[in-house]
Chains A and B, each alone.
Chain A
Amino acid sequence: MEVEAGKTAKYLREKQGVAEHVKEELKEFNRIKRAITDTLKEEELTIAQLSEKLQMPKHDVMYYLMSLVKYGIVATGEIDDRDEYYSYKLVK
Chain B
Amino acid sequence: MLHYDALVVGGGIAGGEAALNLANTGYKVLLVEKDRSLGGKMILLSKVFPTLDCSACITTPKVSEIARHKNITIFTESEVTAIVKKSKNDFTAQVTKKPRYVRVEDCTACQLCERACPVSVRDEYQSGLIGRKAAFIPFSIANPKAAAIDIENCTLCGACEKVCPTHCIDFTMETEYYELHVRTVVLATGFNLFDPLQIPRYGYGQHKNVITSMQMEREIAPTRPYNTILRPGDGKVPDRIAYVLCTGSRDATVGNPICSQICCMYSIKQAQLLMGALPMADVTIYYINIRSFGKGFEEFYQQAKGMGVNFVKGKIGKITEKENGNLILRYEDINEGVVKEAEHDMVVLSVGVKSNPTVGKMFGRDELKLDPFHFVAQDDLLGSPSKTNIDGVFVAGTASAPMDIPDSILSAGSASSEAISYLIQHQEP
Decide yes or no: A67 and B131 within 8 Å by CB, A12-B156, A84-B237 being known contacts: yes
A9 to B162, CA, bound (A): 10
- B121 engages A25 (CB within 8 Å): yes
- B233 engages A7 (CB within 8 Å): no
A29 to B121, CA, bound (A): 9
Decide yes or no: A26 and B119 within 8 Å by CB, A7-B158, A12-B156, A18-B155 being known contacts: yes
A4 to B118, CA, bound (A): 23
Residues of B within 8 A of A71 (CB): 115, 120, 131, 133
Indicate whether B226 reaches chain A with its CB closer than 8 angstroms.
yes
Indicate whether B169 reaches chain A with its CB closer than 8 angstroms.
yes
Residues of A within 8 A of B227 (CB): 69, 76, 86
Decide yes or no: A70 and B131 within 8 Å by CB, A26-B119, A29-B119, A59-B208 being known contacts: yes
Nearest to A67 among chain B residues (CB) is B131
Residues of A within 8 A of B234 (CB): 47-48, 51, 58-59, 62, 85
Indicate whether B153 reaches chain A with its CB closer than 8 angstroms.
yes
Interface SS majority for chain A: helix
Decide yes or no: A25 and B153 within 8 Å by CB, A6-B162, A63-B130, A70-B225 being known contacts: yes
- A26 engages B118 (CB within 8 Å): yes
Indicate whether A66 reaches chain B with its CB closer than 8 angstroms.
yes
Residues of B within 8 A of A59 (CB): 208, 232-234
Nearest to A2 among chain B residues (CB) is B172
Indicate whether B200 reaches chain A with its CB closer than 8 angstroms.
no
- A8 engages B172 (CB within 8 Å): yes
Choose from B131, B155, B171, B230 the contact partner of A22 (Cβ within 8 Å): B155
A32 to B79, CA, bound (A): 37
Indicate whether A92 reaches chain B with its CB closer than 8 angstroms.
no
| Centre residue among B131, B169, B225 by max chain A CB count within 10 A | B131
- B118 engages A30 (CB within 8 Å): yes
How does the 8 Å CB contact mask read for A52-66 relative to B, with 1 for contact and 0 for none?
Answer: 000000110011111
Indicate whether B236 reaches chain A with its CB closer than 8 angstroms.
yes
Choose from A11, A22, A83 the contact partner of B154 (Cβ within 8 Å): A22
Indicate whether A35 reaches chain B with its CB closer than 8 angstroms.
no
- A85 engages B153 (CB within 8 Å): no
- B167 engages A9 (CB within 8 Å): no
Within 8 A of A (CB), among B122-158: 122, 129-133, 152-158
A64 to B234, CA, bound (A): 12
Q: Closest approach, in angstroms, between the C-beta of B323 and any C-beta of chain A?
A: 12
| Centre residue among B171, B208, B237 by max chain A CB count within 10 A | B171
How many A residues touch B, CB cutoff 8 Å?
Answer: 39
A55 to B203, CA, bound (A): 24
Residues of B within 8 A of A67 (CB): 120, 130-131
Q: Closest approach, in angstroms, between the C-beta of A26 and any C-beta of chain B?
A: 6
Residues of B within 8 A of A62 (CB): 230, 232-235
Decide yes or no: A18 and B233 within 8 Å by CB, A8-B169, A63-B131 being known contacts: no
- B171 engages A8 (CB within 8 Å): yes
A30 to B155, CA, bound (A): 13
Residues of B within 8 A of A33 (CB): 120
Indicate whether B161 reaches chain A with its CB closer than 8 angstroms.
yes
A75 to B233, CA, bound (A): 19
A6 to B164, CA, bound (A): 8
Residues of B within 8 A of A8 (CB): 161, 169-172
A64 to B132, CA, bound (A): 11
Nearest to B226 among chain A residues (CB) is A66
A84 to B234, CA, bound (A): 10
Decide yes or no: A23 and B158 within 8 Å by CB, A5-B167, A30-B118 being known contacts: no
- B236 engages A85 (CB within 8 Å): yes
- A66 engages B129 (CB within 8 Å): yes
Residues of B within 8 A of A66 (CB): 129-131, 225-226
Within 8 A of A (CB), among B193-245: 208, 225-227, 230, 232-237
16 A–B contacts from the bound complex (CB under 8 Å): A3-B172, A5-B167, A9-B156, A11-B172, A25-B153, A47-B235, A59-B208, A62-B232, A62-B234, A62-B235, A63-B122, A63-B232, A67-B131, A71-B115, A85-B236, A86-B230
Ranked 7 nearest A-B pairs via Cβ: A67-B131, A9-B158, A47-B235, A8-B171, A13-B156, A59-B208, A12-B171
